[in-house]
Amino acid sequence: MMEIKTIEFKDDILYLIDQRKLPGIYEIFQCNDYKEIEFAIRDMVVRGAPAIGATAAYGVVLAAKEFLKEDEFFKKMEEALVFLGNSRPTAVNLMWAIKRMRVLIESNKNIPLDELYKRIKKEADNILDEDIETNKVMAKYGNEVIKENAAILTHCNTGALATAGYGTALGVIREAHYTGKNIFVYADETRPRLQGGRLTAWELVQEGIPSKLIADNVAATLIRDGKIDVILVGADRIATNGDTANKIGTFMLSVIAKTYNVPFYIVAPTTTIDFDIETGKEIEIEERDISEVTHIDGIRIAPEGIDVYNPAFDVTPWENITGIITEKGIIRLPYKENIMKLK
């Protein structure tokens, strides 16, 4: 079993695997202050909802360290919290982590700032550690739906690189592999940023999991021809009715899966559930720069002057989802009722 340290905080520096450069270059990106952490999230040095949340928590730590000796500590901390919280709009784990850190700060305003800093640091460490433990519990629940010799399709990257460690959907795949189920994985390349081709494929190779990388538009043929037994994907935000925002292309897979009766599971921690929204229509979908579509590794592949629509996510309706695998078990229909039990 290979340990991938996506996030590591040491000596007041946050170290991140630079996911923009994998698989060609394995390089560590250093964040020395909270503004560099905001850049790392926004520019996708780090990505994946759980990893973004943990990274943002350490952004709060570095902000606290920077403002410790200033008179307007709490005012400046609130500005930093807002700044970090605006780095990406769709992943609810980001807002969840920022809220958790804000509550800690608000409830400890009467203690010495040096002691408050220690508590902020401890809380960030807890968020990191809890995510790894959550992933491992989720993986065990998810492994219950994986049959011997299963062919699994996944989309985007949901592994150790997308979390504090181990992974969500890819964590389930790891667990099935470690428990000897003789699985085979098909990984969508995931245009436009190719997280499947660059990151999931890299993790699968590192772990020695039997797999093939496919272009996104191959998936429908495999599903139609009975070559896929189950589909596992992650989530960036889940509404209380079960509607789920995930990497663009997920909704398309869910429609095909439903047509051909292939089980379609979301794998995500309960922190990804947004209890403040009722349906996926309320989820803000991030639209990213057109260069992600017109260029690959800085090389233009589309003509000058062409307009581009580049949403980073889409919403899969609850009707297309077989179950939502969490650290508290597998949520099944009726989603609204069963999700609200977790609040």
**Which residue did the predictor score with more confidence, 2 or 91?**
91
Question: Residue 242 in contact with residue 322, Cβ under 8 Å?
Answer: no
By percentage, how much of the chain surpasses pLDDT 70? 99
Structural domains in the chain, sorted by start: 7-135 (1.20.120.420), 139-340 (3.40.50.10470)
**Tens of pLDDT, residues 281-324:** 999 999 999 999 999 989 999 999 999 999 999 999 999 999 99
Q: What is the pLDDT of residue 165?
A: 83
Cα–Cα distance measured from residue 9 to residue 15, given in angstroms and rounded to the nearest whole number: 6
**Tens of pLDDT, residues 76-97:** 999 999 999 999 887 788 999 9
User: What does the pLDDT average to over 194-202?
Assistant: 96
Q: Detail the residues annotated as belonging to a binding site.
A: 47-49, 88, 195, 246-247
Q: What is the pLDDT of residue 90?
A: 77
The answer to whether residue 1 scores a pLDDT higher than 60 is: no
Q: How far is CA 190 from the centre of its chain?
A: 14
**Tens of pLDDT, residues 121-178:** 999 999 999 999 999 999 999 999 999 999 999 999 999 998 988 999 999 999 999 9
Cα–Cα distance measured from residue 249 to residue 55, given in angstroms and rounded to the nearest whole number: 26
The answer to whether residue 28 scores a pLDDT higher than 80 is: yes
- Average pLDDT taken over every residue of the chain: 95
- Residues recognised as catalytic: 236
What are the backbone angles phi and psi of residue 170, rounded to the nearest 5°? -75, -25
Q: What is the pLDDT of residue 75?
A: 94
pTM of the model: 0.91
Instruction: Look at the block and give the residue holding tokens 């695998």.
Output: 325
Per-residue H/E/C for the chain: CCCCCCEEEECCEEEEECCCCCCCCCCEEEECCHHHHHHHHHCCCCCCHHHHHHHHHHHHHHHHHHHCCCCCHHHHHHHHHHHHHCCCCCCHHHHHHHHHHHHHHHCCCCCCHHHHHHHHHHHHHHHHHHHHHHHHHHHHHHHCCCCCCCEEEECCCCEHHHCCCCECHHHHHHHHHHCCCCCEEEEECCCCCCHHHHHHHHHHHHHCCCEEEECHHHHHHHHHCCCCCEEEECCCEECCCCCEEEECCHHHHHHHHHHCCCCEEEECCHHHECCCCCCHHHCCCCECCCHHHHEECCEECCCCCCCCCCECEEEECHHHCCEEEECCEEECCCHHHHHHCCC
The answer to whether residue 2 scores a pLDDT higher than 70 is: no
- Of 146, 144, 175, give the one whose Cα is nearest residue 158: 175
Q: What is the pLDDT of residue 117?
A: 96
Q: Detail the residues annotated as belonging to a binding site for substrate.
A: 47-49, 88, 195, 246-247
Q: What is the pLDDT of residue 188?
A: 98
Q: What is the pLDDT of residue 71?
A: 81
Question: Residue 257 in contact with residue 232, Cβ under 8 Å?
Answer: no
Q: What is the pLDDT of residue 140?
A: 98
Burial bucket for residue 54 (CB in 10 Å: 0-12, 13-18, 19+): buried
